[in-house]
Amino acid sequence: MAFLKVGKEPPKKKQRLYLMRITFKSGLTVIKIGKASGASSKERMLQIAASIYDIDRTLPHITVKRDQVVDAELVFKYETILHKYFCNYQYKNDRRKPFDGITETFVIPESDAIQAFEAVLAGLEPEECYVMPEAVEEDCVSF
């Protein structure tokens, strides 16, 4: 059995940009924006659920809202754009040991996260950081 075939490049894993809704036992809902490799974001979702279970001994409700194959050179760029856009609403908890991926979670409306996700995939970049809808002036446009 050959480990490497001469003349053929090893297949690259697909890169995916995902958006997940995580609802904790307390009822708090956060949005997680991240990247994953492989055929789907299912494995990453299970890693996050297991990490939360290890800390709280409860399973959160996690729903993958968007899962998009993205060019490997762009996936980190898109993820960074979204994280910077929502940076003022990053979820923080006061536990000694946070769950896996906590730095990529935000306390924002799901509809706004989906809109930003789709805008970034369409090639748009926000000029300013996100502001919660209640605090936005009528004339202000995010994208």
Give the integer Cα–Cα distance in Å for 41 and 50.
14
Question: Cβ(58)–Cβ(101) under 8 Å?
Answer: no
pLDDT at 95: 73
In a domain, 127, yes or no: yes
In a domain, 110, yes or no: yes
In a domain, 103, yes or no: yes
In a domain, 5, yes or no: no
Q: Residues, the chain, total?
A: 143
DSSP secondary structure letters along 3-32: SS-TT-PPPPPPEEEEEEEEE-TTS-EEEE
Helix/strand/coil for 62: strand
In a domain, 120, yes or no: yes
pLDDT higher than threshold 60 for residue 1: no
In a domain, 140, yes or no: no
In a domain, 81, yes or no: yes
Q: How many domains does the chain have?
A: 1
Tell me the per-residue pLDDT of 95-143, one tens digit each, with 9 for 90 and over.
Answer: 778 888 999 999 999 999 999 999 999 999 999 999 998 754 444 444 4
User: What's the domain range around 113?
Assistant: 15-135
Tell me the per-residue pLDDT of 27-74, one tens digit each, with 9 for 90 and over.
Answer: 999 999 999 988 889 999 999 999 999 988 999 999 999 999 999 989
In a domain, 4, yes or no: no
